[in-house]
Amino acid sequence: MTQLIPGPDGRPRCRWSAAAPEFIAYHDKEWGFPVGDDRRLFEKLCLESFQSGLSWRTILAKRENFRAAFQGFDFEKVARFTDADVERLLGDAGIVRHRGKIEAVVNNAKRACELAARDGSLAAYLWRYEPGADELAEPQTVSTSPASTRLSKALKAQGWKFVGPTTVFAFMQAMGLLNDHAQGCAIRAEADRARAAFEPPRTRA
């Protein structure tokens, strides 16, 4: 089966972008474009963990609710959440009410604070794991990679939760640490240009 499908404007796009109407804008404007903002990176790691066992359509539809529930994914604020906040969120019908995943966000916010304090920013740490050209598989043919496995292990060693290699690979795809748009997708070249112009944040010396 081809990885491409015509979009609303007739241009070819990754097949998955046609799975739901709201996927087109996400595919064209976000997925695969490099991100250096700490909050957005933390948000995506959290949302990917919530997606585990669910569809991305479910999570994307609730994204604004998640942002409201978790203080815009400002990890310094989320790190101060208490048990009472967890109970409050378990009653929030606008998000996925899974205790383990909610508690993982709070835990991971504390770990993100530690990384940012040590390395200057969460982004600086995460972009150290950008895969090299020699370890990139053909686009959309794998669900993990050597780089996602390394990052997953590193995060787990520092106490992060719900950051398995598959979750981390989906995060890396979405945040532009690699360009996994299908060959021939009209957006692939745009993502390539954005990545070429992007300067990854540097770890504090």
* CATH code of the domain covering residue 77: 1.10.340.30
Annotated binding site for Zn(2+): 14, 27, 181, 185
Is there a domain that residue 118 lies in? yes
Task: State residue 203's pLDDT score.
Answer: 73
Is there a domain that residue 205 lies in? no
Annotated active-site residue 48? The verdict is yes
Is there a domain that residue 202 lies in? no
Query: Could you tell me the pTM of the whole model?
Result: 0.96
Is there a domain that residue 135 lies in? yes
**Which of 31, 48, 127, 129 is labelled catalytic?**
48
Residues in Cβ contact with 174 at an 8 Å cutoff, skipping those fewer than 6 apart:
30, 31, 32, 44, 48
When divided into structural domains, the chain yields a total of 1
Task: State residue 40's pLDDT score.
Answer: 98
Average pLDDT estimate for 99-114: 98
Q: Which domain, by its residues, includes 50?
A: 4-197
Residue 48 identity (one-letter amino acid): E
Annotated binding site: 14, 27, 181, 185
**Which of 16, 26, 30, 190 is labelled catalytic?**
26
Is there a domain that residue 204 lies in? no
**Which of 22, 30, 31, 56 is labelled catalytic?**
56
Per-residue model confidence as pLDDT tens digits over 47-101: 999 998 899 999 999 999 999 999 999 999 999 999 999 999 999 999 999 999 9
Annotated active-site residue 56? The verdict is yes
User: Is residue 205's pLDDT more than 90?
Assistant: no
Annotated active-site residue 127? The verdict is no
pLDDT band at residue 202, thresholds of 50, 70 and 90? confident
Q: Answer whether 169's CB lies under 8 Å from 148's CB.
A: yes
Task: State residue 92's pLDDT score.
Answer: 98
- Mean pLDDT, the chain, as a whole number? 96
